[in-house]
Each structure stands twice: as C-alpha cells, then as structure tokens.
C-alpha cells in the first residue's frame, strides 16, 4: 500500500534478499546480518515510486551510522554553495531560523553557523551528529517527525527554511513529516529538499540508487501530488548534477507563492517521457539484468586471466550491486574507502574487505571497479597514478565499460 496516498503499489523489480547497505561488519559479525527483500514499485494512483518492504529506521540510522556527507571535495563545495544560496534567498529577514533534517556531519550547517544565522540540525545518528557539533553546529539527536517538530517550534519558534539533502527520500512516514513541517514552518517559509531523481535513475540505469535507505524515488509529479495532499504546493524545482542527477524541490504553503515555470516544464517533460505508470518501467528490468550479466562476465573473465581486481568506494549503492550480481571477494579482493568507520570492516552481504585508499598502490591492481561512480572525476584525478601505471577503471552505469 502506498505510503503517500494508500493506493495500490505495482511492483516492477525485485532485487531479492539484501543486507542493510551501511551495515559494515566486523569479521566476528558474519552470520548475524539482517536481510530484507529489496523490491520497488510505483503507486498506481499518485505515481510515487517506493520500496515494497520497509526497514525499521533504527536498524539503519544509529550511533554507528558510517556515512559522512563531507567525504568528497565536490559535495563540500556543493553544500557551501547551497548554504550561501539559502542565506541569500530565504534567510534574509530579521533573525531568520533554519532547521536541517538529517544534517549528518554538519557539512551544510557549518556555513550557516559561520554566517551567524540561527539554526538546528536534527540528526538521528549520534556519531555523525557529534562530528557536526565539533564544527560548531547546533544539533538535536532525533528522528524528525511531527512530535519533534512541535517541540522545536515551542523552543525556537517557527522556521523560515526547513532543508534536507538526501534525507527526505529516506523517510517512509511522509504524513508525519508534512504535519511536522506544517507545525514548524513560518507562514511564508519554505521546505527545500534534494534527492536522487527517478528520471535520471531510469535514464542512466543507476539501479544501485535502490537500497534500504532510499525508500522513495521522487519525480516532480509525485512530489507535487504528495505536497498537495498535505496543504502544500511545489513552487520550484531545480536539477542538480550531484550523485548522478538529483532534483531540488521548493515547497511552500498552498497559495503563498507563485510556482516558477520550471515546475510545469519538468512535469510536462515527465509526462512525455512516461515516469508514472508500471509499463514505463519495462525497459528498466532489462537494463539492470544486462548490467549484471555484463559485469559478472567481465569479472569472471578477468579472474580466469589471473588479473587483480579491487573496488573503489564502499558506497551504500555498492551493496545492491555486489549482492544482486553476486560479487564475492574472489572476484573483487577488497574495496578502498577513505571513511574511517568503514576501514577494516567487511562490506554487507558480500563480505569483501574494506581497506584504506593507500592499499590501492600496494601494489596497483590491474582493474578497479568504481563503485563511487558519482565521484568519478574527483577519484580519477586523485588516483591518476593508478591509471598511468596501466590500471583501468571498470564502470557499470549506464552500461559496463572500461576506461
């Protein structure tokens, strides 16, 4: 049943039994992993694409949540620019106040703090929240929902901006979120959020955007429908080039702001492309299965030739790739990742060891699968010596290729 409108959800792809994408484990933890069925479908009435089965939030977001939003130079720059944009557009009044839902390590709010603007990050994962505090960011360790929003407004007053990056799509209980926004947002305030765009996922076959934490896959039309159900209106939309293609949505109370032409333009483009009915996803399954077959064929062939293959970027996305395709440590011997909390652990499900980026050069392998394809430019520049030494990158979206 649709988590937005209660309509019937038509399942269009089943990835089978999958582990939690960020549950990196100690070798001693093997045998005690949690698995769930990762399947995705589209609501036949409101068009929201969503997971079929939901994982309890505190299994995914907790003290030891390992992902740091500031783990890439490009994303640090993106969030500095975002903070500046919010400061210049919606935070210009007298003593403005911004709340960020899922502030992670404070990558965006630290710029807001430096500007001296009142802010609060709401972050359920205690470890990353502590990092944010270390940056001077004010944080409440909690899951944002209606009751928390009411507590914040009682303490701090209404918010001019409620912002979220790569967080809204993680939250299945969207009704409580919108009721919370209703309680907390100033009459002319805005809710701004950015998440991977279903249009880009389908265009580029980036099936690895589908994993436990990504519950919703938004489009302009599905977000516009959802906002309207709760007394809000989608008033602006902007394409973002990060994480393989995202959209930034700006939502206001219904009737308070004139929608920009961009909303209708992109909604019309979606209607033309077809992102709203089960039949529109027929090609997706074929694309995913082709990538799996091509990638496994390549990796098995390289193994038969005695080539050394490693991975780069122990991303949450890579859990779907490794477990759906069946990539084992025999095919990819380890994965390099700079995140301290992932180092020395095993990848969920596949149990491929995670090592520091220095391990890449010790000695250089013949091939590296770039699981962090969304950071390709940054990582390839950083590891130029690997390529110069004859090493080759394996990419698998939009199709399997070697560079």
Quick check: 354 binds ligand TMP (CB under 6 A)? no
> 268-307 mask for ligand TMP (x: CB under 6 A)?
----------------------------------------
User: What number of chain residues touch ligand TMP (CB under 6 A)?
Assistant: 16
List the alpha helices (DSSP H) in 245-315. Answer: 261-273, 282-304
Q: What are the backbone dihedrals phi and psi of residue 101, each rounded to the nearest 5 degrees, phi first?
A: -90, 120
The dihedral formed by the CA atoms of 371, 374, 376 and 381, expressed in degrees to the nearest 10: -120
* Choice between 296 and 359, CB closer to ligand TMP: 359
> 201-240 mask for ligand TMP (x: CB under 6 A)?
----------------------------------------
Quick check: 316 binds ligand TMP (CB under 6 A)? yes
Q: Map tokens 């293609």 to a residue.
A: 245
Quick check: 71 binds ligand TMP (CB under 6 A)? yes
Closest C-alpha among 180, 182, 187, 183 to residue 160 = 187
CA distance 79 to 96: 19
Quick check: 372 binds ligand TMP (CB under 6 A)? yes
Quick check: 356 binds ligand TMP (CB under 6 A)? no
Q: Map tokens 């483009």 to a residue.
A: 269
Quick check: 378 binds ligand TMP (CB under 6 A)? yes
* Choice between 90 and 243, CB closer to ligand TMP: 243
Quick check: 359 binds ligand TMP (CB under 6 A)? no
Burial 193-210 (b: 16+ CB within 10 A, else e): bbbbbbbbbbebbbbbbb
Residue 343 contacts residue 370 (beta carbons within 8 Å): no
Quick check: 379 binds ligand TMP (CB under 6 A)? yes
Closest C-alpha among 13, 31, 4, 2 to residue 348 = 31
* Choice between 47 and 315, CB closer to ligand TMP: 315
Quick check: 245 binds ligand TMP (CB under 6 A)? no
* Choice between 146 and 200, CB closer to ligand TMP: 200
Quick check: 338 binds ligand TMP (CB under 6 A)? yes
Quick check: 375 binds ligand TMP (CB under 6 A)? yes
Q: How many helices (H) and strands (E) does the chain have?
A: 13, 17
223, 234, 314, 397: residue in contact with ligand TMP (rule CB under 6 A): 314
- DSSP secondary structure letter of residue 353: B
96, 106, 199, 313: residue in contact with ligand TMP (rule CB under 6 A): 313
Burial 218-251 (b: 16+ CB within 10 A, else e): bbbbbbbbbbeebebbbbbbeebebbbbbbbbbb
* Choice between 107 and 171, CB closer to ligand TMP: 107
Quick check: 352 binds ligand TMP (CB under 6 A)? no
Tokens of 49: 């694409």
For binding to ligand TMP (CB under 6 A), which residues are involved?
Answer: 71-72, 313-316, 337-339, 357, 372, 374-375, 378-379, 382
């Amino acid at each position: 049943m649709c988590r937005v409108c209660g309509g019937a959800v038509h399942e269009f792809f089943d990835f089978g039994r999958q582990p939690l994408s960020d549950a990196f484990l100690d070798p001693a933890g093997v045998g005690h992993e949690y698995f769930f069925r990762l399947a995705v479908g589209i609501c036949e009435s409101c068009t929201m694409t969503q997971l079929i089965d939901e994982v309890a939030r505190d299994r995914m977001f907790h003290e030891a949540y390992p992902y740091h939003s500031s783990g890439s130079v490009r994303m640090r720059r993106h969030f500095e620019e975002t903070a500046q944009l919010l400061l210049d557009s919606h935070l210009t009044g007298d003593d403005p106040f911004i709340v960020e839902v899922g502030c992670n390590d404070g990558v965006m709010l630290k710029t807001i703090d430096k500007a001296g603007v009142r802010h609060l990050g709401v972050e359920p994962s205690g470890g990353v929240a502590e990092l944010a505090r270390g940056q001077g960011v004010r944080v409440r360790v909690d899951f944002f929902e209606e009751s928390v929003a009411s507590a914040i407004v009682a303490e701090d007053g209404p918010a001019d901006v409620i912002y979220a990056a790569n967080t809204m799509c993680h939250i299945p209980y969207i009704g409580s979120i919108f009721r919370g926004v209703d309680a907390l947002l100033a009459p002319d305030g805005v809710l701004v959020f950015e998440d991977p765009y279903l249009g880009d996922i389908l265009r580029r076959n980036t099936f690895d955007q589908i994993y436990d934490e990504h519950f919703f896959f938004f489009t302009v039309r599905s977000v516009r429908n959802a906002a309207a159900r709760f007394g809000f209106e989608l008033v602006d939309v902007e394409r973002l080039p990060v994480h393989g293609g995202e959209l930034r949505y700006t939502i206001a109370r219904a009737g308070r702001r004139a929608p920009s032409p961009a909303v209708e333009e992109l909604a019309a483009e979606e209607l033309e492309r077809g992102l709203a009915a089960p039949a529109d996803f027929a090609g997706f399954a074929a694309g995913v299965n082709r990538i799996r077959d091509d990638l496994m064929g390549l990796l098995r062939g390289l193994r038969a030739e005695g080539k050394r293959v490693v991975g780069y970027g122990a991303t949450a996305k890579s859990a779907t790739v490794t477990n759906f395709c069946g990539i084992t440590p025999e095919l990819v011997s380890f994965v390099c990742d700079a995140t301290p909390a992932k180092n020395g652990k095993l990848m969920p499900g596949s149990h491929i060891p995670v090592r520091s980026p220095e391990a890449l050069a010790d000695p250089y392998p013949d091939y590296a699968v770039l699981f962090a394809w969304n950071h390709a430019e940054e990582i390839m520049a950083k590891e130029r010596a690997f390529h110069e030494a004859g090493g080759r990158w394996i990419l698998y979206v939009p199709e399997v290729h070697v560079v």
